[in-house]
């Protein structure tokens, strides 16, 4: 049985979107005791590699957001290599198809009981209906999200990464089983940055998010640990 978050603090994933490990560690030190997980993304992982994961994992469980998408054999090999580094969650693209997703799950299971959760990304929020048509997808974005989500879960994904506005439709279509990890979160009153469609931490959890991913509202705050604490305090018990 895969974990669900253990209390409000366990729900908070802080995104460390920094170009260097030194900057990530400077943020992670004070923030990790206030959060459930730390998100290590593609930029930092490409720059600093496995040592970044090892260092951050010493502070909190790590959500490794690398969005793998390749032939099944290659993704299985990559998941096997990454699982050995001990992340709690790894992302793949649902668009890689059922065989790729099944191969990812199988490779994760080879890591044993403490295996990483495999989370599927459906339609990137940077893709609108016009862009989807440009790559040959005629479906409405939300229908495409549900279609890919259902396929990914049937193929073996443990959960999904989705936007706050997708949480309700996904729960309605696919039930309470899938683990949902939700970025695009802004505490009331904080700057939107480049996020257009957001929810507050409380709204996202009430709608059915298991974990929320928050970057700049924490990492850009004058006191990141206090910002993380305030978000956790705002979550339903
Ligand atoms: O700083 P902010 O809270 O906007 O950071 C959100 C994090 O979640 C970033 O790491 C971003 O790449 C990621 N993310 C997102 N929207 C998605 C998928 C991932 O904001 N649809």
pLDDT tens track for 8-35: 999 999 999 999 999 999 999 999 999 9
Whether the CB-CB separation of 125 and 153 falls below 8 Å is answered with: no
CA distance 213 to 42: 15
Residues with CB under 6 A from ligand 1: 15, 17, 39, 41, 125, 163, 183-184, 193, 195, 213-216
Rounded to an integer, what is the distance from CA 91 to the centroid of its chain?
A: 7
Q: 8-234 — its CATH code? A: 3.20.20.70
Pure H helices in 158-223: 164-174, 201-207, 216-219
Q: Under 8 Å CB-to-CB from 40, ≥6 apart: which residues? A: 16, 24, 52, 53, 56, 62, 63, 64, 65, 87
Whole-model pTM: value is: 0.96
Q: How many CB atoms lie within 10 A of CB 222?
A: 6
Closest atom, ligand 1, to C-alpha of 39: 10
Rounded to an integer, what is the distance from CA 108 to the centroid of its chain?
A: 16
In tens, the pLDDT along 164-196 reads: 999 999 999 999 999 999 999 999 888 888 887
């Amino acid at each position: 049985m895969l974990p669900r978050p253990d209390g409000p603090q366990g729900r908070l994933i802080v995104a460390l979107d920094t170009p260097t490990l030194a900057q990530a560690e400077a943020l992670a030190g004070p923030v990790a005791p206030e959060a459930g997980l730390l998100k290590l993304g593609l930029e930092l992982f490409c720059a600093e590699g496995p040592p970044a994961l090892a260092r951050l994992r010493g502070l909190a469980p790590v959500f490794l957001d690398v969005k793998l998408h390749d032939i099944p054999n290659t993704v299985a090999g990559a998941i096997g290599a990454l699982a050995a580094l001990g992340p709690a969650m790894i992302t793949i693209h649902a668009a890689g198809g059922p065989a790729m997703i099944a191969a990812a799950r199988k490779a994760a299971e080879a890591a044993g009981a403490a295996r990483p959760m495999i989370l599927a990304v459906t339609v990137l929020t940077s893709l609108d209906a016009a862009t989807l048509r440009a790559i040959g997808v005629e479906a409405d974005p939300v229908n495409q999200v549900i279609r890919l989500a259902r396929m990914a879960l049937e193929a073996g994904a443990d959960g999904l990464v989705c936007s706050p506005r997708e949480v309700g439709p996904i729960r309605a279509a696919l039930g309470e089983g899938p683990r949902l990890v939700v970025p695009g979160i802004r505490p009331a009153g904080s700057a939107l940055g480049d996020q257009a469609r957001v929810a507050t931490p409380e709204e996202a959890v009430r709608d059915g998010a298991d974990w929320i991913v928050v970057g700049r509202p924490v990492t850009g705050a004058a006191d990141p640990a206090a910002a993380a604490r305030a978000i956790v305090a705002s979550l339903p018990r």
